[in-house]
Structure 1
């Protein structure tokens, strides 16, 4: 079953958060493009969260 995406925008930081699940500390994160940070599931390496900076 597919998870629903949630979107949150931080006006002060000008960052858009796109979440498939609630962030948790065990995730690995990497900048996949300039200003785009992805958080990956530690076992499946599937993208679960994105941060889009300078949105």
Structure 2
């Protein structure tokens, strides 16, 4: 579903951590930011990378 990438990576980390109880966790998410493609800079190839590191 469409949502803010920064929130999606944290939600994914929370879910994995809750279900697996790891000692540490690292997630790196790369996604297209359509707000940059459709308005503003109008860069159709814009990618953003967000990460969560825990433990």
Please give the TM-score of this superposition, normalised by the length of structure 1. Answer: 0.25
Q: Which has the higher strand share?
A: 1
Q: Which has the higher contact order (CA 8 A, sep 6+)?
A: 2
